Structure 1
Amino acid sequence: MALRPVMVNVKALDPSAVGRFWAMALGWSAYSPGVTTYVGPPGGLVWPDPVAVGIDVVPVPEARTATKNRVHLDLATTSAAHQAELVARLKALGATPADVGQSDVPWTVLADPEGNEFCVLEPREIYRDTGPVAAVVVDCADPRAMARFWGEAMDWTLLEVTDDRAVWRSAEGVGPYLEFLRTPDVKAVPDRVHLDLLPRPGDDKAAEVARLRALGATDLDLGQGDVPWTCLTDPEGHEFCVLAPPH
């Protein structure tokens, strides 16, 4: 038993607009089967996607605060020219430059139309086959502690763990990486962006949630009421949801 990341959940005042931005940014498609907007690879809605980690944009009434998100996306590029072209195209779509204290770095930090930060990376060999999303990046205080929790929580492969970072990729070696990076920031407001995890077909969601609690996860009440998913936080307070498995 273990879970897999299937979506990056983004809260937005206007989920349709934010979903359209990310669909155009990634060359994917936006689907709105209900109140949320799901962004995934083109070709029709396939969920969970066998390779990509999709983006699910959900409506909330509260605007984003000025606090930097603890979860963001890194976008992959194949050349310096591709990086420059992508940055220019994203700005034309409504992205704006963002200052998160990065100083002089080879990647470009931008924010989507509702202020959620993301990075357009310079070409890196490790991300050559990830698709448009190179990595889902999570700020944390202790990557080794996060490696212990998330390594047990997920069925992804732990590729690296140091004092500064912990890195996973799917057991099949496809799609984006998941990277927990050590930062001095601490949580000040509820997370605007979080991971959604999914049990494998046939696994018991209640048993998975109980297993996560035993590992150190804590129940989270966001006023969600009676819903088919379970909201939790990891030992550092990162919010995440365990979704109902597909039938």
Structure 2
Amino acid sequence: MTSQLVQVNFKAEDEVALGRFWADVLGWGMASEAPGVVNLEPVGFDWPDPSAVCVDLVRVPDREAVRYRVHLELATASEAHRAELFARLEDLGATRAEGSVADATLLADPEGNEFAVLAPRERHQDTGPIATVVVTCADPRAMVRFWGEAIDWTVHDLTDDRALLRSPQGVGPWLEFRRTPNAQALRSRVHLDVLPVPAGDQAAEVTRLEALGATRTDVGQGEAPWVVLTDPEGNDFCVLGRE
């Protein structure tokens, strides 16, 4: 058994408005599985599928103003596409953010969640609109030891500064663990969600992940159908169940 990375989860003050922003940015469909929850996925997508990491937005009563350990980087096919995307993002309400990333421009969505628009890169021509899901961390090598086993993705690059993984099918976005000073001090309102595959035995998968170094945590989820864990650097993530 293993887990599949299936979505990135945003905590939002207004999940509908923020969902509409990201649906327009990504060109994806927008639906709701329950009050206070908005689901974004490619049109015609058969969930779950490694060709895309979807987006969920969940309303919270008090969204904290915090820094981000997980963020999205968007792909561009050409400089013309990049310019068109910038113009569209500004029209939708994105703003420039402080900081810099090589060959990328940092922006913030209408609720302040940071993301990046990348320069055209050959590696991202087949990822879909999300090129990379980035997790900032103190030790990429340690993170890839856990996450590589947790989701069974292939490691394509591993240094002291970053670990780069992708699904073994060679489809969908990349997952990057990027070394960042003071990463442990950062908190996030964006986190990863995984789904046990193929059988969907949530309890057995949670036990396996704990054996790899994950720890159960309580974030006020109550009797939710998912289990909240933290990875070895303290990042929350959820193990979903099948309904």
* TM bin (shorter chain): over 0.9
Q: 2:128 aligns with which of 122, 127, 131?
A: 131
Alignment of 1:4-23 (within 5 A): 4-23=4-23
The structural deviation recorded for 1:167 is: 1.1
User: 3-state SS of the aligned residue for 2:90?
Assistant: helix
- Separation in 2, partners of 1:50, 1:187: 29
Say whether residues 1:181 and 2:178 are aligned partners.
Answer: yes
Alignment correspondent of 2:41: 40
Amino acid across the alignment from 2:68: N
Alignment of 1:157-196 (within 5 A): 157-188=154-185, 190-196=187-193
Alignment correspondent of 1:233: 230
> Deviation per CA, 1:22-68, whole angstroms, max 9, x where unpaired?
0000111111121210011013x632245111000001011231x32
User: 3-state SS of the aligned residue for 1:32?
Assistant: strand
- Separation in 1, partners of 2:240, 2:63: 25
- Separation in 2, partners of 1:71, 1:79: 25
Give the unaligned 5+ runs of structure 1. Answer: none
The structural deviation recorded for 1:189 is: 5.9
Amino acid across the alignment from 1:205: Q
Q: 2:118 aligns with which of 118, 121, 126?
A: 121
User: 3-state SS of the aligned residue for 1:73?
Assistant: strand
Alignment correspondent of 2:24: 24
Say whether residues 1:68 and 2:91 are aligned partners.
Answer: no
> Deviation per CA, 1:83-115, whole angstroms, max 9, x where unpaired?
11101101110111101x217x43211111100
Q: 1:213 aligns with which of 201, 210, 214?
A: 210
- Separation in 1, partners of 2:193, 2:184: 19
- Separation in 2, partners of 1:72, 1:156: 19
- Separation in 2, partners of 1:7, 1:141: 23
- Separation in 1, partners of 2:46, 2:22: 17
Alignment correspondent of 1:96: 95
TM-score in terms of structure 1 length: 0.93
The structural deviation recorded for 1:155 is: 2.1
- Separation in 2, partners of 1:64, 1:116: 11
Give the unaligned 5+ runs of structure 2. Answer: none
TM-score in terms of structure 2 length: 0.95
Alignment correspondent of 2:83: 84
Aligned Cα RMSD in Å? 1.5
Instruction: Out of 126-135 and 29-38, give the one that drifted further.
Output: 29-38
Instruction: Out of 56-65 and 116-125, give the one that drifted further.
Output: 56-65
Conservation of the 8 A alpha-carbon contact between 1:218 and 1:233: yes
- Separation in 1, partners of 2:81, 2:187: 35
Amino acid across the alignment from 2:115: F
Amino acid across the alignment from 1:150: W
The structural deviation recorded for 1:150 is: 0.7
Percent identical among aligned pairs is: 60
- Separation in 2, partners of 1:153, 1:78: 31
Amino acid across the alignment from 2:175: L
User: 3-state SS of the aligned residue for 1:108?
Assistant: strand
- Separation in 2, partners of 1:193, 1:63: 11
Conservation of the 8 A alpha-carbon contact between 2:39 and 2:57: yes
Conservation of the 8 A alpha-carbon contact between 1:11 and 1:59: yes
> Deviation per CA, 1:193-216, whole angstroms, max 9, x where unpaired?
000000113142111111111111
